[in-house]
């Protein structure tokens, strides 16, 4: 049931975002909260019974099966959702989340301040009119632009910077888009990259305390 709710959550979030009926932030907050409450509501009777058994064992009295009403189940589900699901989930990803936020702010500020402009200009001068060098330069620019882990920033900077060269040499623009996408895909495994952050968060949720940096070191050879 938990796996089904997980897939339903993903599908609903994607459907709402793609249909543009709600903002991305609303979809990412409320849909998981609703499906999480459903999971907690389903699991509430087991938690109540286990708590009653533990209390009877601790007190040394006979176990009496508790009467579970809708109100009791609803209240317990809210408690499970807030304390167990949301509380433990947030505590397991807070360090990774802070690093992700810092990386976005830091590299976005550097990009806005023009820190990477001299590097990009030198790469463009190096490429000249050699198609192979143009492809390599496009890849390097994509890697530099994706230091903040933001795909939107990468494409908005790398594509316009290299497009004049592709058009001048009559190279296929699909090649440019593919190269930039490959650069972004490789840079996405940085410690603050989206996939690495989500993988670390998922593993932490399963009881394996792993940081994005530790995952990155393991992925580096590949």
pLDDT at 103: 66
Q: Taking residues 96-121, what's their average pLDDT?
A: 71
Average model confidence (pLDDT) for the chain? Answer: 79
Give the Å distances, CA to CA, from 137 to 111, 163, 169. 18, 12, 14
pLDDT digits (tens, 9 = 90+) for 129-188: 788 888 888 898 888 888 777 777 778 778 887 888 888 788 898 999 999 999 988 888
pLDDT digits (tens, 9 = 90+) for 15-36: 888 887 888 778 888 888 888 8
Q: Is the pLDDT of residue 119 over 80?
A: no
pLDDT at 37: 86
Q: Taking residues 99-122, what's their average pLDDT?
A: 72
Question: Which of 11-20, 22-31, 59-68, 92-101 comes out lowest in average pLDDT?
Answer: 92-101
Residue 187 tokens read as: 């840079």
pLDDT at 133: 86
Cα–Cα distance measured from residue 66 to residue 8, given in angstroms and rounded to the nearest whole number: 32
pTM check: above 0.75: no
- Give the gyration radius of the chain's Cα atoms: 25
pLDDT at 175: 92
Give the Å distances, CA to CA, from 26 to 5, 38, 53, 98, 177. 18, 18, 39, 21, 30
Determine contact, residues 78/40, Cβ cutoff 8 Å: yes
């Amino acid at each position: 049931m938990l796996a089904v709710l997980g897939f339903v959550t993903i599908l609903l979030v994607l459907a709402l975002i793609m249909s543009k009926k709600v903002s991305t932030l609303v979809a990412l907050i409320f849909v998981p909260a609703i499906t999480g409450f459903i999971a907690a509501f389903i699991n509430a009777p087991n938690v109540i019974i286990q708590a009653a058994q533990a209390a009877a064992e601790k007190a040394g009295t006979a176990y009496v099966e508790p009467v579970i009403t809708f109100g009791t189940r609803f209240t317990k589900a809210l408690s499970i959702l807030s304390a167990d699901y949301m509380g433990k989930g947030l505590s397991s990803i807070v360090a990774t989340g802070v690093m992700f936020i810092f990386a976005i702010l830091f590299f976005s500020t550097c990009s806005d301040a023009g820190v990477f402009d001299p590097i990009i200009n030198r790469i463009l001068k190096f490429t000249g009119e050699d198609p192979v060098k143009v492809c390599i330069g496009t890849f390097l620019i994509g890697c530099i632009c994706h230091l903040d882990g933001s795909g939107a920033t990468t494409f908005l900077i790398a594509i316009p910077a290299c497009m004049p060269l592709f058009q001048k040499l009559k190279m296929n623009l699909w090649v440019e888009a593919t190269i930039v996408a490959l650069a972004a895909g490789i840079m996405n495994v940085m410690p603050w990259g989206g996939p690495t952050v989500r993988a670390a968060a998922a593993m932490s949720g399963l009881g394996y305390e792993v940081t994005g940096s530790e995952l990155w070191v393991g992925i580096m050879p590949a």
